[in-house]
Structure 1
Amino acid sequence: MKAYNETWVRNRYILEQVGRWQRQGLLDEKKMDQIRAKFPVGFRSSNGFIEIGLFVFSVVAISGSYFLLATSLSKLFGVDLFYHFFNIGFGIIVGLLAGYLINRRKYYRSGVDNAMVVAAVALVTTGIIGLFPNNLSLWQYGCFALPIILLGVWYYSDLLLTMAAFGTLVTILFDWMLDFQSGKQLLPFVLMAVSVGLYIAARLYENRDALLYWRDNFILLEWLSLSLLLISCNYFAVRQLNFWIMENRPTEAPEIAWAGLFWTLTIVVPVVLFYLGHRQKERPMLIMSAIGWGLALATWRYYHPLFSLEAYLAINGLSLILVAVFLIRYLRVPRNGFTDQPDEDSPKEFLLNAELLATVQTTSGHLGPKDDLRFGGGDFGGGGSGDRY
């Protein structure tokens, strides 16, 4: 059992896919109405700006209520263990209120429920960690917090909790590796291995029908993993990180061990990401490869400047404009799966399964052999990764 209606989540995704068919001219409004009736979605929908406003308002309201109650009750019960149990109790109350609004008001990532979910998990996690002794290592506290956050991700499929779980995992690895004598040197390689492993796992499970409830979480994990990979192999990031964790810091960051290897990784990793992204038509890899190239050039300029910063900015800006103009003109005609057409998933793909595809076709009527509808991600991977360019 999950916080949100799994059937509605599934139907919502189906309607998003079928909506693309309609925009491609394969379905008329009458058939769309039939499909909407067959796959109803009861969630309330609102504008993205409204959701952001509701999120901020809810955070302010929860914070105000928390501090008001905490200040009032602390005068009666003291402050030793009170705050820990108060955090747990207040978090449970916020979580119950979030469940009530989700069930009765049909919220789904509407801002209000996001704020309550994050606040509930944060308060319960903080309260439970506060009950443990104060002499534990940071990674040990993280090991206690991570299962609670992951439980929240499982139940709510919240993206902010996914980011929190990822950050907690990285913090655990970071602090744990520093306990070893050679951990500081091995830390970047451990983070690289973890980022690659998480990305592969996310890609494997992203489009599985049984895991559709967490599909957006897997997509976010892909982006976070690639970001961690670029940071952990970048020469500047590794050198500065080594400088920050030194006990007696010199005036400038000293040279690091295996400097040549990290310079090589700084340049090679974006190239590998571009190659894999181009070959597999993977949007995150292509975008992160471009970001990686930018980081590599910025790193090189930081340690080996040839021109002033203004000259670099002017040259890079002009170069990006010329490349963008060239690609826009060159990709007006689709080439090898890449195009400058509007960013729409192909109408020939249905990213769930054959049974649902048959149900949609039965509801809407046969679309004709020329449409060649397939399922499971088509030729170019998952919808979160992108399939046409």
Structure 2
Amino acid sequence: MKEIILCKYGEIALKGLNKSTFESMMIKTIKRRLASAGEFRVTKSQSTLYVEPLGDEPDVDEFENRLSKIFGIVKLCRSGAVEKDIKAICEKAPEYLADVLEGARTFKVNARRSDKKFPLKSPEICAELGGAILEKFPHLEVDVHEPQVTVTVEVREDYAFIHSDPVDGAGGIPVGSSGHAMLLLSGGIDSPVAGYMMARRGAVVEAIHFEAPPYTSDRARMKVEKLAELMTAYCGDIKFFCVPFTEIQLKLRANCPEELFTILMRRLMMEIAQRICEKEDDIQALITGESLGQVASQTMYAMVCTDAACRMPVFRPCVGLDKAEIIEIARKIGTFETSILPYEDCCTVFTPKHPKTRPSLEEVEKAQASFDFEPYIKEAVEGTTVRLIKHI
């Protein structure tokens, strides 16, 4: 039996005249992400994308896994495609779903008849197929309220599609539908989650990382590159910028108040990131993994001081999440285990003993103006390396 994966979307269906634009973006993403998984065909109809694996023995599991990480898809239904005939449906459905039904105790049948020319109405389809399943699997009982398995028949234009309970997709809207943004990517737990969350809202995410050799090691940089690589499963290809930051941190430590070190460091990071964004020409915003009140540099006072150095919007999608919620998302997207590897980044090696939690903008700007950082900012921008981290 031919297997086709039905990819269903949510808010995209409400985009009105722009709906086709979002659909086209999703189809392009699907073609890129599935290209190395084998041959396939993608079509669309009735707010659903149909992905049909081709070839003699396609790896449908791999197709389904990759599709589950594409933003814009809300539900995935791995389905058997049957001719639109009730006898064929009653014969093929128990066979196709045998593995699921054999291990269950209760079930129900749900029918959706998009093709109104089909001779049987939905309740009649349910009755016919339910009887066929009970005949094939007499141990089963019907439970229409809390079934262990829901067998669904969708009678559409070309086929009747048979599937059990759908798999959750990544949700959101397609990457590329909301512009480009630059993620300040550290080696911690929060920033990869922030990048994921903005990509889920359609942003193309690039990443910038600040390293401080010899205080940070090659392994620390490789850890962050690995995080970016893991993010590509959801975000697609990521342009990765690596900034030499040692000299700036040393000048900060030697010339500025220790309690303001982290705030001043973040302001200079923002300045460097903005200049690189301006050189790239099409990046409209910055992204950070800050969560309000999580550490001293993430108080509201500190964020005000940081934002005052910014000429472009700063998105903080984790700002209202607690650490447990952020960790839960990190585990879901597969970055948590890499994030907790014990390699220090430049944000932690120079951490002051007693950082100021309520800095005023006036004192921060005065401290920053007490030393000319401009030559070192230019040097850092010019020394930045770039590589493209491809979707894995």
- TM bracket (short chain): under 0.3
Q: TM-score, normalised by structure 1?
A: 0.23
Larger strand fraction of residues: 2
Between 1 and 2, higher relative CO (CA 8 Å, sep ≥ 6) is seen in 2
Structure of larger gyration radius: 2
Q: TM-score, normalised by structure 2?
A: 0.23
